[in-house]
Structure 1
């Protein structure tokens, strides 16, 4: 449903002079959680997800992005200044086995958001992935390189990019790679989980990329919105790569995590992608060039090793706090 002229005029009047509101889709996810936490001191956060996110400690809007009428009602009710689209179906192997669902969640939902954003003149920050590339390039992938996705996940994210590029009035298209964070499923947490029961971990060594900490992505977005607004609010679509610097294989990534934790009792066995034999193919090289984004933001992304070290400390602290809360709850419950 198209917003009426009267609705657009009212919306514009309400936005004039108002404190900026940021609507985050997928706010309960790994990236959305850290974005909400890091942006909350400077912006009013409107969180949106299709299921509750009690770990956020704040109310959110429950809405499936494929429900166009409900989505439109949410947008008109809150009048966000900018829309950050984190929500996506990101399980690469699940997408490979459920292509129609991946198409709907990654492409259809993005299309719905772009239509509304254009009607209400709201800029979009959209997150894509290094998996839009085929992995055969020698060296780093540039922002304007053509996507040649190998998997259903990569294809649907490339198609979502095409929706942004061809129809969005104002957008920052941000590709990220090898994402991990405290909340949600990620490679470091999978490695830590395995070490609880085994002493030998098999990890692929023929895929190379840049690990990316969710907090560093959120920090870059904060700088975009507070210091470099032209990257988001000017007309047109701009593509950026956001990641930590440096590159490593998955096996090297796992080995670094174990070394930082002093787990010399666990060994990493390097294997090939073919040996792992997962449903979805992955690119052998998905290293993203960071030069354009660093220049635009006026920063240098820190090395992935430093980010992982901070992540491990935060993860340990979070687990302690969660355990303490659980203990308090148990002690307070009547027997």
Structure 2
């Protein structure tokens, strides 16, 4: 076998679901040289449809599936629970069954919202789940389905507060409101770890090369923030990069002053010690935020 054939034999065929989402797009921008990846939007692979999953996987026959498809509208999930469960619970089950039949690996993204947020210390991967909203419950159901079908052969990677230079996320909402509002009031008594979609994508690609890194794991950027802290940092960094034209007051408020359809965990910090040891530590969330906004500023000025 010549060198070209040997190189081809060692390449991984990876199929990524949810290609149009913020993590799917970040994965597409960071594909390692040794990976042959295909990215499928919902029109080509609807994870909630078992037939769509079977057809797509039969066509592409991947060695690895990265499931970046998710229903993430936390408040809407309270009134659209069926849709949330179809995508977040039934979808992973369909993918896990198809992966088992193909002999493929499954890497799945989950969330800090599987926890209640009442614990006074970071949640470890083995801590009991206790979701307090429909979105979190749907994600727990997806985790349980994967574990029942694939066991420890799959990777379930929980993360938190994901944002990107595109899509619908806290960063983009804050930038829009900061340009259009005279004042912002942001919750200060919910804490977690903002995580760049590019940071999460990098962790997933590194995990792909570590077949011993499976089961339930946690990954976020380093450090802790409240939503208020995150908003203040967004304004400071965006002003420095010229993404905002003015500074507005940001007021810290309790959750009780900003009622939402879905309850949020008060403290959803995740213990990442195991994943940092296996994959390398993440940058502090403020560093990742600066890099994300710098990338957005470059696109805006192009």
State the TM-score, normalizing by the size of structure 1: 0.83
Structure 2 residue 246 is the aligned partner of structure 1 residue 246 = no
Alignment correspondent of 1:328: none
SS of 1:300's equivalent in the other structure is: coil
Q: 2:168 is paired with a residue of what secondary structure?
A: coil
Distance 2:121 2:11 in 1: 43
Partner of 1:203: 186
Point out where structure 1 has 5 or more consecutive residues left out of the alignment: 1-15, 52-61, 233-237, 322-335
Q: Deviations 1:94-125 (Å, cap 9, x if unpaired)?
A: 11111111111111111111111111111100
Closer, same or farther in 2 for the Cα pair 1:320/1:41, shift >3 Å?
A: farther
1:168-183 matched pairs, under 5 angstroms: 168-169=150-151, 170-183=153-166
Aligned residues: 289
Match of 1:260 among 237, 242, 248: 237
Q: Which deviations, in whole Å up to 9, do the C-alpha atoms of 1:249-284 show, x marking residues without a partner?
A: 000110111112336721111111121111100000
Aligned to 1:333: none
Secondary structure of the residue aligned to 2:165 is coil
Contact 2:235 2:247 in 1 (8 A): no
**8 Å contact from structure 1 (residues 199, 265) kept in 2:** no
- Report the counterpart of residue 92 of structure 1 in structure 2: 74
Whether 1:319 and 2:300 are equivalent positions in the alignment is: yes
Q: Say which SS state the counterpart of residue 83 (structure 1) adopts.
A: strand
Q: Would the aligned equivalents of 2:166 and 2:172 in 1 still touch at CA under 8 Å?
A: no
Q: Is the CA contact (8 Å cut-off) linking 2:11 and 2:34 kept in structure 1?
A: no
Partner secondary structure for residue 195 of structure 1? helix
* Deviations 1:39-58, CA, capped at 9 Å, x for gaps: 1533111111214xxxxxxx
Taking the aligned partners of 2:139 and 2:104, their CA distance within structure 1 comes to 21
**Structure 2 matches for 1:74-93, cutoff 5 A?**
74-93=56-75
Q: Which runs of 5+ in 2 are unaligned?
A: 1-7
**Which residue pairs with 2:21 in the alignment?**
29
Q: CA deviation at 1:18?
A: 6.4
CA distance in 1, matches of 2:52, 2:260: 37
Q: Is the 8 A contact 1:22 1:82 kept in 2?
A: yes
**Structure 1, 255-264 or 87-96: larger mean CA deviation:** 255-264
- Which is higher, the Rg of structure 1 or of structure 2? 1
Equivalent residue, structure 1, for 2:83: 101
Deviation at 1:76, TM superposition (A): 1.5
Per-residue CA deviations over 1:148-187 (Å, capped at 9, x if unaligned) read 1000000000111111122115201100100001121111
What do you get for the CA RMSD once the two structures are aligned? 1.6
Q: Distance in 1 between matches of 2:62 and 2:292?
A: 30
Q: State which of 40, 44, 51 in structure 2 corresponds to 1:48.
A: 40
Which residue, 207, 211, 214 being the options, matches 1:224?
207
TM-score, normalised on structure 2?
0.92
SS at match of 1:128: strand
1:230 Cα shift? 2.5
